Every structure is written in C-alpha cells, then in structure tokens.
Amino acid sequence: MKEGPDIALIGALIGDPARANMLLALIGGRALTAGELAAVAGVTPQTASTHLRRLEEGGLIRQRRQGRHRYMALADDEVGRVLEGMIGLAASRGHHRVRTGPSEPALRHARVCYDHLAGEMGVRLYDGLVTTGRLVLDGDTPVLTGPGAAFMADFGIDLPRLRRARRPLCRACLDWSARRPHLAGSLGAALLEGFYARGWARRQTGSRAVVFTREGEAAFEAEGWNAS
C-alpha cells in the first residue's frame, strides 16, 4: 500500500464531468444553491445532491446556510487555485470545450479567480507591484515590502486585519490564460474589492468576467499598478 496524500481521490472528485461543471461554476467565488448547480451540471436534483455530498466530504466545497436556504461554495482559495491551474493545463494541452462564446475575450482580459483578479489585468497588477518593489519574490512566493505596505495603506487596505487572518497575505496564482502569475491571497482579494468600491470595475452579471471602466483602466497606468 502506498503512503502519503491520496491524489487519486481528489482527481476522481474533480474528474467527473458533472462535478467538474459544478466546481467551475463556483470558481468565481459566488455561492450557489443545489438547484442552480444541478442546472449547471445538467443533472437531476437528486443526482446533484449525491455529487455535492461527495464534494463536501472530500473537502472541496462547503455549505453556507442563510435561513432555510443552503448555498454551496468552494471550501477555500486553495481549491480555486488548483482549479485555475487545471484549466491552464487543459488549455495548454489543447483540451477545449466545444462550446465557446463572446465571453472568452472578456474572461482573458479580466475575471474573478475565486475572489481575486485574474486575466491580463491581474497579471499587469502583479507585474507592476513587483517592478516597483512593492512586492519581492522569495522563491515563488510574493512578499509585501515596507514601501508596498505603505502603498496599500494609502489605497485603504487594512493590512493589520489581513495579517491577523489565517489566510496567506500574498500568494502567486498561475493564470491559465496568460500562463503567468497573478496575485492571490487575502491581499489580492482586498485589492479587487477596493477596485469595485472605487467604481474602477464591476462584475459582469452571470459571468466571471470583470469589466473595467475607462477610469479604472487609466488607473493602471499610474505608478505601481502597471508594469508597462
């Protein structure tokens, strides 16, 4: 008997087409009902319930209760990061879904990866922070510098609160479309919320796509946000 983590179990959970569709529907960070996920997966509510129970037992999703309603969400950003990496692997090997649509260019430009910014805009953000010395790399791990902390505080990020959380402050997440890292972790999530709050960007209804305003795009030309 082999010892160590059982990657076959995780692979089997993700590998079922219905469960894969459910997980991909949740990668945008929104919680969905079992009925919504059944529709996404193209299965009956009874079958969806079985799939969701297996995903929850496997630690890939969790339930959120609000009154009489139950909502499903990814267990944490680590699951989202693994899914994003698998999307990139599938794309690089030419394994594409038959159905495509006009949303693909929008998703490549800017999208939500669990709760942080991904796509071209996410990579530009990451590169800009590294280029200006606000992030430095410790191996593959981005680390916020002193000037970076001051920059974030000026932007309105509550760093003491983020540092108290159990979640990593900064994490590099490999972007499936750009094949380069974007910023994940609690700081990545806080920055995206900051962009929303300032009216720089909004979430496209019914999609993972993030739409930036002209002002929001222009803000990335300012020092610290854009490497180009």
Give the per-residue pLDDT at 101: 42
* Residue range(s) in the chain whose domain bears CATH number 1.10.10.10: 7-75
The answer to whether the Cα torsion of 196, 157, 188, 72 is positive or negative is negative
CATH, domain range 7-75: 1.10.10.10
- Conformational region of residue 52, where left means phi above 0, alpha means psi within -120 to 50, and beta covers everything else: alpha
Token digits for 179? 């094949």
The rounded mean pLDDT for the chain is 87
Average pLDDT over residues 53-71: 88
| Residue type, position 202, single letter | R
- Conformational region of residue 59, where left means phi above 0, alpha means psi within -120 to 50, and beta covers everything else: left
Average pLDDT over residues 103-120: 87
Give the per-residue pLDDT at 225: 75
Give the per-residue pLDDT at 100: 42
Between CA 225 and CA 219 the distance in angstroms is 7
Q: For the chain, how big is the Rg over CA atoms in Å?
A: 18
**CB 188 within 8 Å of CB 170:** yes
pTM beyond cutoff 0.75: no
